[in-house]
Structure 1
Amino acid sequence: METNLTYEAAYKELAEIAREIENESVSVDILAEKVKRASELIDFCQTKLRATETEVNKIIKQMEG
């Protein structure tokens, strides 16, 4: 996974992969590659969201304290 990948770019790429698969525009020869990449992007996005949630909760606790 690229070190400078942003959540927005990952989400956009994931949406494009989903669109390609739904429209059946992905050849069988590269379908496994697309699914693997989608899995990597999902993991990246989930990790980013969890980290953001943790940071926001930390800031909220500091503000309350």
Structure 2
Amino acid sequence: METTNLTYESAYKELTEIAQEIETEAVSVDVLAEKVKRASDLIEFCQTKLRATETEVNKIIKQMENPPA
């Protein structure tokens, strides 16, 4: 999956566009599998990004609650 310079926002936007194309049947059968695969990769990227962000935020909160003595 191409993730160079990919941000959560751009991945989510592309995912939304793919979903819209599939829902409106604007995707030909010839490229449907390709679009579904790309959507799967984007979902995985977004989930990974969200988990990493959650971990980082929790770490910051924990540091704020227990400042070094």
- Asked whether the two chains share a fold, i.e. TM above 0.5, the reply is yes
RMSD: 0.5
Q: d(CA) in 2 for partners of 1:16 and 1:59? A: 34
Q: Which runs of 5+ in 1 are unaligned?
A: none
Other structure's SS at 1:56 match: helix
Aligned residues: 65
Structure with max Cα Rg: 2
1:41 aligns with: 42
- Percent identity (aligned): 83
Letter in 2 for 1:60: I
Q: Which runs of 5+ in 2 are unaligned?
A: none
Q: d(CA) in 2 for partners of 1:41 and 1:19? A: 15
Q: CA deviation at 1:3?
A: 2.1
| Higher relative helix content | 1
**TM-score between both structures, scaled by the size of structure 1:** 0.98
Q: d(CA) in 1 for partners of 2:44 and 2:18? A: 15
Q: Spell out structure 1 runs of 4+ moving beyond 6 A.
A: none
Cα offsets for 1:10-37 (capped at 9, x unmatched): 0000000000000001000000000000
Letter in 2 for 1:57: N
